[in-house]
Amino acid sequence: MRGGRRVTRVLVVDDEPWIAEVLARMLEDEGHKVETAPNGAIALAKITEEAFDLIVCDVHMPDLNGLGLYDEVKRLRPDLLPRIVFMTGSALSPAMEGYLARTGVPCLSKPFKEEDVQRHAREAMKSGG
């Protein structure tokens, strides 16, 4: 526990290693235990084998993108849905904006600020129980 909070296990999913590393450090600075995955397929394998409290996932990735990962989590671990945060470095299309509105998944824009990452993590943890 740090500052009276329990340590959470976070999975950061991004195909750009340097972004995953920066994000992991930001979350570790807040006392979270962080693992990374380079795409949704590897993330899905980790999610089925280990318990995570929060998933921060890039939208655009090879093999299994963020939306595909969300759909698989919905099928296999629906309890995690409120604790997913997307991130993207590109402008959101109207279709993507509609998807986010329907699902309620928050989205961080790259480049992100540390305070935005931490705020999104706190909010997702509150909404997810």
Tens of pLDDT along 35-73? 999 999 999 999 999 999 999 999 988 889 899 999 999
Helices (H), 1-129: 17-29, 40-49, 66-76, 94-103, 114-127
Lowest mean pLDDT among 8-12, 30-34, 42-46, 107-111: 107-111
d(CA 85, CA 60): 13
- Choose which CATH entry (1.10.10.10, 2.60.120.620, 3.40.50.2300, 3.90.1150.10) describes domain 9-127: 3.40.50.2300
Q: What is the pTM of this model?
A: 0.88
